[in-house]
Structure 1
Amino acid sequence: MSAVRACPVRRRVRGVPRRPAWTATLTWKAAVFITLMCCALAALLGALVHVSVTRQTVDASREKALSRLEDVTRAYEAGEPLPPFAGVDPVGLPPSLRDLATRGSRGTVVADHEGRPTMWAAGPADGRALAVRVDYSLSARTIGGLDQAILGSSVLAIGATLLVGSFAVTRVTRRLHLTAQVARRISAGDLDARVDDPRTKDPSRPQDEVATVSGALDTMASSLQGKLLSEQRFTADVAHELRTPLTGLSAAAELLPPGRPSELVQDRVRALRALTEDLLEISRLDAGGERVDLDVYALGPLAERVVRASGVGARVRIVRDARVETDRRRLERVLGNLLANAHKHGRPPVVLTVDGPVVTVRDHGEGYPAYLLEHGPQRFRTESGSKGHGLGLTIARGQAAVVGAELVFANPPGGGAEARLTLPEYVDLTAEDGEEPR
């Protein structure tokens, strides 16, 4: 059954790498979001600071270079000797700036000169380019240091924001995980489980969304517990109240004269008595106070005895026998109910198979209804043409849970219905060590 369901999944995901489970957590998503937002904000602020400081630094160096160019131009026109940092068509002058000066305009440009960043300023001089240069190394180092400071501070800010954000998100997700755990415990049958968020107990404290969800879950659990307990008490009370009149009705039916009417009355009384006993058993299972009498049994012979006692004509098939630790009376009750259900609602042949600690009861009828496969057996609900109250499988699942076994219902390939009971196998540790068991 599981292989049939798994095949479409394998075809659907073939060739697609599966992401790790932690990538779906809220903490990871929040961390990625915070990191991206911090990086974007740091990049924006860093770019604004870099552009502003660079513009100021370049403007200051340009003004200095143009001021020197004016002084050198006056000295050139007066025929005075030029300083070392100036010259007419000097070596290393960028061609673009030379062309600009020869066309009669002034301009500046930053370029490398002898391996050092230099601010050049040039202007026209008798059809040639009169140029000066200003050392731009200090300004370049200032801008470089600023960029490093921006990068370092951005990394520190991102790291600090990520730590604080992760801490805050982790506190929220921890509360969400606690709420989810309580919800799972409630669904598993622990109706006393509660979140008990302290924020929901003090009305003066502001409640966030997680506290609201926790309070709603606790309220729902309390309401559900009250309704279930009321239903369980009603079932138990009805069953107990029916026992007394049934006893009198059974005695009265025995006094009727022999005949068909008497047989019909006695048959209905027996059916009503069986229904009452089933209701009492369900009420005891719902109360959760059942005690088990555990012992070690060979599963194969025990299953054969159950089949013979049931009288349904099922076939027993033992693939591998095993010793199990269980309550024999409860196990016989589970197997008897499964056989009776297969005989009543299925079609022959009914086969009981023992394969190690696993017992399967299979018939070849129409299979279990969809609601039973999805939600499990439900009392007083049946979709079969035969009469029934839906209590047999409910009792079987409840008794299986009491003895620590797992009962699964499925419709196997080829038709029919299959109930698979997995019991805890008994392992004799002394025998494995080569010692004689006592």
Structure 2
Amino acid sequence: MRSVTLRTGIRWKITLAIAAVGALIAVALSLVVHSAARVSMLESARDSQLENVKFLSRYAEAGRKLPATAAINDPKVPGQLRRTAESGRLGTYVQDNPKGLPEVWAAVPLGNGQILTLHSKFVENAKVMRDLDRALVVGSLAVIIGGSALGVLIGGQISRRLRKAAAAAQRVAHGDPDVRVRDAVGGVVRDETDDLARAVDAMADALQQRLEAERRVTADIAHELRTPVTGLLTAAELLPPGRPTELVRDRAQAMRALVEDVLEVARLDSASERAELQEVALGEFVTRRVSSLMPEATVRVVADEIVSTDPRRLERILGNLLANAARYGRAPVQVDIEGRVVRVRDHGPGFPEALLREGPSRFRTGSTDRAGVGHGLGLTIAEGQARVLGARLTFRNVAAPGGRESQGQAAGAVAVLWLPEHAPTATGSFPVIKLPG
């Protein structure tokens, strides 16, 4: 069974925690205050009742009329209080009434062996207790609301700082080396968020240094290999005709292409490439390039549009997508142009799941049914060139009849190039567009 995961922000977690603690403290203090006040008032009522019964005892001995709440030898007097008075002592007793207010009794023995009792209900004190309880409830609600507001304020500040840190870290992950999480967080108060930001910045710097070192090593190796590979290819041209010569030339050509691809990947990783923009009719441009690169492919122009892009890089992307379709897919290969969108589809086994999930990766070709050979650089270069153009390159599979694409039974692979409405400038940035309103 799948477990249910609840997602909520840290602001509301802090608010809920403060509100819960405030509610517990308010309830506990209210119970303590209520109990202490009730005990104090009952003790005061018992003392007052005892003084009153002493005073009335002189009235009774003088034969004067007693009030309605006083009586001699009252049969309703509680047994414990009766036994106290019969032993010759003064006493008080609080009789609880489940359906009403408690009654406070006081008893004093008279000289003739009789017992004078006085009892009254806890009326005035009960009114004071109700007012006190009302005040405690209002105070508790005020504490809970105030604590919740404070929690929203504190949690909101922490949440905003964490969101800024997450956004900055996301920009770093997308390849922006100038972003610093600590600067993005900002603020006057220093807390654990700053420690996290500094740790992320240190990690990003370390990773950037490692990637830059790896890129330099890769570029240096590829550059050093270019000269001997070119010499090897030239020497192969001088060999006498024959099958061995063809094999040597073929392998030398493959090695040279690999070296050039590695150099291109290194240049794209350096983020120093800039697009040389020209206005081109996308449908006409793609039709001509596809006709020269793969004459057997079908081209369909749904809607043509003038775009500002780099023709050389766009041709490189198309060439790599068509080469990938020819090598790993099956005919027919179809290219559709619709506005600023170019789709390249083959009818092969589809893209590997790893590529669909994580995107192209160099020197990883995926499953053997589609990419058992090659170096995984074609789609990596296509994606890098698309990034230079400010475009987006996506990959998906066409489900086979029956919809079992997830089980590896696809009816083809589709690569979609989304050209931007506003192409990057010569510096690699995007122009600022003022929207209406």
Do they fold alike, i.e. is TM over 0.5?
yes
TM-score (norm 2): 0.76
How many residue pairs match? The answer is 390
Residues in 2 aligned to 1:129 and 1:354: alpha-carbon distance in whole angstroms: 112
* Deviation digits for residues 15-53 of structure 1 (CA, Å, limit 9, x no counterpart): x9x98xxx7011111111110111111111111111111
Residues in 1 aligned to 2:206 and 2:41: alpha-carbon distance in whole angstroms: 72
Residues in 2 aligned to 1:162 and 1:102: alpha-carbon distance in whole angstroms: 52
In the other structure, the counterpart of 2:199 is 216
Matched, 1:75 2:59: yes
Instruction: Classify the secondary structure of the residue corresponding to 1:190.
Output: coil
Residues in 2 aligned to 1:289 and 1:376: alpha-carbon distance in whole angstroms: 22
Residues in 1 aligned to 2:178 and 2:362: alpha-carbon distance in whole angstroms: 23
306 and 132 in structure 1: CA distance in 2 versus 1, 3 angstrom threshold? same
Residues in 2 aligned to 1:134 and 1:261: alpha-carbon distance in whole angstroms: 123
TM-score (norm 1): 0.76
Q: Which amino acid aligns with 1:143?
A: M
Instruction: Classify the secondary structure of the residue corresponding to 1:256.
Output: coil
302 and 198 in structure 1: CA distance in 2 versus 1, 3 angstrom threshold? closer
In the other structure, the counterpart of 1:264 is 247
108 and 243 in structure 1: CA distance in 2 versus 1, 3 angstrom threshold? closer
Matched, 1:284 2:267: yes
In the other structure, the counterpart of 1:422 is 418
In the other structure, the counterpart of 2:297 is 314
| Match runs of 1:90-169 below 5 Å | 99-100=76-77, 105=82, 121=105, 132=118, 138-169=124-155
In the other structure, the counterpart of 2:22 is 38
CA contact (8 A) 2:81 2:93 kept: no
Residue 11 (structure 2) aligned to one of 10, 23, 27: 27
Q: Tell me by how many angstroms 1:188 deviates.
A: 0.9
102 and 381 in structure 1: CA distance in 2 versus 1, 3 angstrom threshold? closer
Matched, 1:305 2:291: no
Residue 191 (structure 1) aligned to one of 177, 181, 184: 177
Residues in 2 aligned to 1:47 and 1:40: alpha-carbon distance in whole angstroms: 11
CA contact (8 A) 1:312 1:343 kept: no
Gaps of 5+ in 2: 83-91, 401-409, 424-437
222 and 104 in structure 1: CA distance in 2 versus 1, 3 angstrom threshold? closer
Q: Which amino acid aligns with 1:263?
A: E
In the other structure, the counterpart of 1:49 is 33
339 and 102 in structure 1: CA distance in 2 versus 1, 3 angstrom threshold? closer
Q: Which amino acid aligns with 1:317?
A: R
Residue 403 (structure 1) aligned to one of 374, 389, 404: 389
295 and 212 in structure 1: CA distance in 2 versus 1, 3 angstrom threshold? same
Residue 350 (structure 1) aligned to one of 330, 333, 337: 333
69 and 257 in structure 1: CA distance in 2 versus 1, 3 angstrom threshold? same
CA contact (8 A) 1:100 1:107 kept: no
* Deviation digits for residues 380-409 of structure 1 (CA, Å, limit 9, x no counterpart): 222446531111100100111111111111
In the other structure, the counterpart of 1:65 is 49
Identity, % of aligned pairs? 43
Q: Which amino acid aligns with 2:26?
A: A
Q: Tell me by how many angstroms 1:212 deviates.
A: 4.3
* Deviation digits for residues 260-297 of structure 1 (CA, Å, limit 9, x no counterpart): 33333333332222222222221221111112122333
Residues in 1 aligned to 2:315 and 2:184: alpha-carbon distance in whole angstroms: 48
* Deviation digits for residues 311-338 of structure 1 (CA, Å, limit 9, x no counterpart): 3621223333333332222111111110
Deviates more, 1:130-139 or 1:385-394: 130-139
Instruction: Classify the secondary structure of the residue corresponding to 2:399.
Output: coil
Q: Which amino acid aligns with 1:419?
A: A
Residues in 2 aligned to 1:401 and 1:103: alpha-carbon distance in whole angstroms: 94
Q: Tell me by how many angstroms 1:250 deviates.
A: 3.2
Q: Which amino acid aligns with 2:206?
A: S
* Deviation digits for residues 107-160 of structure 1 (CA, Å, limit 9, x no counterpart): 55589xxxxx896647799xx997756685653443344334433443444455
In the other structure, the counterpart of 1:93 is none
